[in-house]
Amino acid sequence: MRVAVLGAGVMGAGMVGALRRAGHEVAVWNRTASRARELSATGAVPAATVTEAVTGADAVLTVLFDTAATLAVKAELTAALAPGAVWIQTATVGPDGIAEIAAEVPAILDAPVLGTKKPAEDGTLVVLVSGDPALRDRCAPVFEAIGSRTVVAGDTVGPASALKLVCNSWVALAMAGIAQSVRFADALGVPPGLFLEAIDGTATGMPYAQVKGGAIVAGDYTPSFAVDGVVKDLGLMIEAAGRTGFPAELLRAAQDLYVRTAEAGHGDADMAAVAEVFRR
């Protein structure tokens, strides 16, 4: 397939590499053009404009930061979209965001992904998809290239974006809990490595705790999922909870932690930097 990728950040760049390894032709556009040009080493073709990237594509992946960034390219994207081509929207935008993005677009799939930098680079993301089954089938080669598996959330646009918020709520809360426990060990005079060793291999000792706990101990906040992105996603979760009357106290508490982390200058750092809030 010929695939256009709009957005060459951490996730978009990883997807471009995975698509190229699977043999797809890829055109890539990014608002900062140098990022798209860097991906020419994979065999992808950098495009100067959205129109140039999308023209002739069988599928278009948008991998942008939020609803506003995605809406900013919508008019140009849809004008250049060929008959039979499918727009695959992968950003975390929530149910309201995807409804606005998908309005009056006949061929679009709601397809946010689970995973961060390394899974994107390895082509092992989990694709959460909802939308027309015929469009899903048409885009299966793209999903197989970027992901290890695909979870179908429904036959209409929206459920996949809702599911993504649920999954990211778990990630955000788990990361805050890991950070608190590592720093609590410090406060009590216990080497944090002993905490990670104690839970390793137990029912509560999930691999994520070892990866992120180890990063905190090492002070390595190289971004896989940046704090600013977590703040944005938690805002979407709280909005969605408010519409349904779902209690959002824990989400608000987590949002406060990540906002404080960003305000301390760690907005571009990995979400593990939330551990800095727990320093004495």
Q: Which residues participate in catalysis according to the annotation?
A: 164
Instruction: List the one residue out of 123, 10, 189, 204 whose CA is nearest residue 213.
Output: 204
Q: Which of 36, 161, 156, 179 is nearest to 91 (CA)?
A: 161
Cα-to-chain-centroid distance, residue 141: 20
Helix 159-187 × helix 249-261 angle, to 10°: 70
Residue 113 in tokens: 């992904």
- Beta strands 59-62 and 86-89, pairing class: parallel
